[in-house]
């Protein structure tokens, strides 16, 4: 079976995403980075991903060369950009530039991994995407695990390990996964399709649900270590076990992705996306009370939140693909992804700004805006019986 190989390669490639976040304390100590760098650094990766997605789509790069070759090239280049963080970074500007470059090459890992999977799976694509996105979530969390395990090692060791992991993932995908029988060529990116895409009411509804999800997701992931440190009253992330708990909380989203994918085979994607987004929104509203709870309740709550905050992601991707105009699916998904990641930059920077002016217990309260907007949009799905009962391909 090729799915485990695709999943493993996707996990390895996306480990680059939060590599800088996992060693933030070491970076700040070594390079004298100012407060607030965490948000700017995370946003730099997001911005790089947006630019890379647009460039790859506009020039139809994954149609011009084999997607698995593109995956390999971007894995190696992204690993080199990440490795440069340990070798050449000298201050805030170089750190942000290198994280931007890493995000740029992630655009050839995350979406291209999806395309590779779609080349091998048609009838069970929804389930395959659920497993793949689950592996991407684990990959995003992986640097925190490395930081926790190797807390006695210098932060550069984590960066090197992540870079090697990403390179091996690219090699694995290239050597072990041939181009699939269902691999199709895209129709090319059409930026003028924006108006046409959002004139489709079904697509507009699922896209706004996705945008609400993206407002919350990456800001939550980026600031989980900050919330943990504030609760336990420590500035020493590694000694307090914060990297391990960050890995578990972020990585728990894999359970939501895989479980949601399996459930969606029987219910369709819309109910799964709606209920997970609702649960995540409730977590946002209850988050100030977390700091009054004993630590087992605090951690259990964050683990549950980690499951539902990411579990709706593959379902929104499926809904967007299903509801886009058939002749504009490629452009629709590109535009929706870029808008979603742009929204994540806004929420990350908002939380980053509030972190210096607000008690930590209230930081995640602002994230409830995203689920509220998404749920408002998703509630209108009930007006479309065909969409409500539609099953994943």
pLDDT at 267: 87
The per-residue pLDDT for range 244-299, each reduced to its tens digit, is 999 999 999 999 999 988 888 888 889 999 999 999 999 999 999 999 999 999 99
Q: What are phi and psi of 296, to 5 degrees?
A: -65, -40
Mean pLDDT is lowest, of 229-243, 316-330, 373-387, for 373-387
Domain ends where: 177, 201, 225? 177
Name the percent of the chain lying above pLDDT 90: 64
Q: Which domain holds residue 233?
A: 193-393
Same domain, 148 and 201: no
The per-residue pLDDT for range 303-324, each reduced to its tens digit, is 999 999 999 998 898 888 888 8
Which sign, positive or negative, has the C-alpha torsion 234, 238, 244, 250? positive
Count of structural domains within the chain: 2
Residue 388 has pLDDT above 60, yes or no: no
Same domain, 359 and 220: yes
Domain ends where: 177, 209, 233? 177
Identify which has the larger pLDDT, 143 or 391. Answer: 143
Q: How high is the mean pLDDT of the chain? A: 89
Same domain, 83 and 219: no
In a domain, 248, yes or no: yes
In a domain, 266, yes or no: yes
pLDDT at 126: 67
Same domain, 161 and 227: no
Mean pLDDT is lowest, of 242-246, 278-282, 357-361, 388-392, for 388-392
Q: Residue 187's pLDDT band (boundaries 50, 70, 90)? A: low
Same domain, 170 and 308: no
Residue 106 has pLDDT above 80, yes or no: yes
123 dihedral zone (left: phi>0; alpha: psi -120 to 50; beta) = alpha
Same domain, 256 and 112: no
Identify which has the larger pLDDT, 393 or 368. Answer: 368
């Amino acid at each position: 079976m090729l799915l485990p190989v695709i999943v493993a390669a996707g996990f390895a490639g996306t480990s680059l995403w939060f590599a800088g976040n996992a060693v933030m304390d070491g970076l700040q100590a070594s390079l004298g980075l100012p407060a607030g760098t965490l948000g700017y650094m995370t946003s730099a990766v997001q911005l790089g991903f947006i630019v890379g997605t647009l460039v790859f789509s506009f020039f139809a790069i994954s149609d011009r060369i084999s997607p698995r070759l593109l995956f390999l090239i971007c894995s190696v280049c992204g690993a080199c950009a990440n490795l440069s963080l340990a070798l050449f970074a000298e201050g805030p500007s170089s750190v942000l530039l290198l994280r931007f470059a890493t995000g740029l090459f992630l655009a050839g890992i995350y979406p291209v991994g999806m395309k590779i999977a779609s080349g091998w799976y048609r009838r069970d694509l929804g389930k395959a995407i659920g497993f793949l996105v689950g592996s991407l979530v684990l990959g995003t969390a992986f640097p925190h695990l490395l930081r926790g395990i190797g807390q006695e090692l210098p932060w550069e060791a984590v960066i090197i390990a992540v870079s090697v992991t990403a390179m091996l993932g690219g090699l694995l995908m290239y050597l072990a996964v041939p181009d699939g029988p269902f691999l199709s060529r895209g129709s090319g990116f059409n930026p003028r399709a924006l108006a046409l895409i959002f004139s489709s009411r079904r697509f507009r509804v699922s896209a706004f649900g996705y945008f609400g999800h993206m407002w919350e997701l990456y800001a939550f992931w980026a600031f989980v270590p900050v919330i943990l440190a504030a609760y336990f009253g420590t500035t020493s992330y590694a000694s307090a076990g914060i990297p391990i708990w960050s890995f578990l909380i972020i990585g728990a989203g894999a359970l939501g992705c895989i479980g949601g994918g399996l459930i969606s085979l029987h219910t369709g994607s819309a109910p799964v996306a709606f209920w997970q987004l609702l649960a995540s929104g409730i977590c946002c509203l209850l988050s100030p009370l977390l700091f009054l709870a004993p630590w087992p309740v605090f951690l259990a709550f964050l683990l549950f939140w980690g499951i539902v905050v990411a579990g709706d992601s593959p379902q929104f991707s499926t809904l967007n693909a299903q509801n886009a105009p058939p002749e504009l699916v490629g452009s629709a998904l590109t535009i929706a992804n870029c808008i979603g990641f742009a929204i994540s930059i806004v929420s990350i920077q908002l939380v980053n700004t509030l972190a210096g002016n607000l008690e930590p217990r209230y930081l995640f309260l602002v994230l409830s805006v995203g689920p509220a907007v998404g749920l408002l949009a998703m509630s209108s799905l009930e007006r479309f019986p065909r969409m409500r009962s539609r099953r994943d391909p």
